[in-house]
Amino acid sequence: MLEGLPPNGATHIMRVGVAESEALSIAEFIGETFDPAEVATSAFEIENRAEGSAWAIEIYFAEAPDEDGVRELIALVSPQAAEEAVFSTLDKKDWVAASLEGLAPVEVGPFVVHGSHDRGRFTANRIDIEIEAALAFGTGHHGTTKGCLAAIAAFGKRRRPARTLDVGTGTGVLAMAAARRFHRPILASDIDRVAVATARENARANRAAPEITFLHAPGLSASDFAARGPYDLILANILLAPLKSIARGLRPLLAPGGTLVLSGLLPSHANAALAAYRAQGLHLVRRRTIEGWTTLELSADAGRPKG
C-alpha cells in the first residue's frame, strides 16, 4: 500500500514492524507532512511477523533524513515504532527491484498485472500487462491501483469511452489497461519526468503505445488537457491534497455522462475528497475499499450510491 511516489534515486530508507492500524496511520501522517516528491511511505502486510507486528512501514527519502526528527513525528502516532525504527542506506535502484521481487500476478476483472517472470502464463482472453522494475511506482499490487482497475473494468461493461485521461500515470499501468481494453485515445500525464519516460517505455512493451499520448505536466494548466478532451473516463490515482487542488480544473474536462475515478485515498480521506468534488457538481456513484484504500467513482449525473 503506497502513500506517495517514492523519489527517483532514493538512497535512504526507514523500516519498522507495526500493527496494521499503526502502519496506515503512520503512512497517512508522514504522507501529509512531507513533500511527496521527496519522501514516500509504503505500508504492507508481512508473512514472517512477530506477534503484534503484522505489518511493516517503510519510508523512502531522496536525501539523508533527520533521523531524530522523523522519530519524533512517528512517536506522535506510535512511541514504540519510533524507538524500533531502523534507518539504512541502499543502492540507487535496490528499492525498486525489491518492490517487485517475488510479487504474484494481480488479477482484477479482465486484467492481469505481472512481472517478466510470469510472462506467457495467461490465456489469450486475459489482458495481461507486464510491469518490470523501473524508476516509478505502480505495479498493480496496491489497493489503489486495484480499485482503479476494477473501475475501468466496470466502465467497460457499460460502454467504451471516446477519450480517457489518466492523471498521475506513474508506470502507466492504468493508461495501458484502458488502452488495451478500449482501443481509444488516452492522455496520460505525470508531474515526474522519469515516470513519463518509464510509462512510455512500458506502453511500447505492452502494445499499448498507439492509443496513449504521454504528457509531462504539473497540474492541469497545460493546453493539451482541454485540447484533447472532454473525457468520458478520467482516472486520478494520486493523493488527497492534489486531488482536492485539481477538482476545479478536472470538472470541465469531464464529458457529459462521463465517469471520474479518484483513488490514492485512505478511508478517512474519502469524505474530504467527495466534498471537494461535490462542490463542482459531481456525485458519488460507487465506493470501493480494497486492502485499506478507497476508490471513488463520480459522475455529473446524480445517482444513488452503490456502496
pLDDT bin (cut points 50, 70, 90) of residue 7 is: very low
What is the torsional sign of CA 1, 231, 244, 4?
positive
96 backbone dihedrals φ, ψ, rounded to 5°: -70, -50
Q: Give the DSSP letter of residue 17.
A: E
Q: Look at the block and give the residue holding cell 467527495.
A: 274
For residue 85, pLDDT over 50 is answered with yes
pLDDT at 222: 93
For residue 154, pLDDT over 90 is answered with yes
Helix boundaries (H) for 159-266: 173-182, 193-205, 223-227, 240-245, 247-250
pLDDT at 95: 44
CA 21/CA 253 separation, integer angstroms: 37
For residue 139, pLDDT over 70 is answered with no
C-alpha 121: how far from its chain's center? 25
pLDDT at 239: 84
pLDDT bin (cut points 50, 70, 90) of residue 120 is: low
pLDDT bin (cut points 50, 70, 90) of residue 201 is: very high
Mean pLDDT of the chain: 83
Q: pTM of the entire structure?
A: 0.68
For residue 6, pLDDT over 80 is answered with no
For residue 215, pLDDT over 60 is answered with yes
Domains of the chain, each with CATH number or no CATH: 2-98 (3.30.70), 142-299 (3.40.50.150)
CA 299/CA 282 separation, integer angstroms: 5
Do the beta carbons of residue 84 and residue 16 sit within 8 Å?
yes
For residue 38, pLDDT over 80 is answered with no
| Mean pLDDT for the stretch of residues 241-254 | 94
| Mean pLDDT for the stretch of residues 33-47 | 73
For residue 109, pLDDT over 90 is answered with no
CA 138/CA 72 separation, integer angstroms: 30
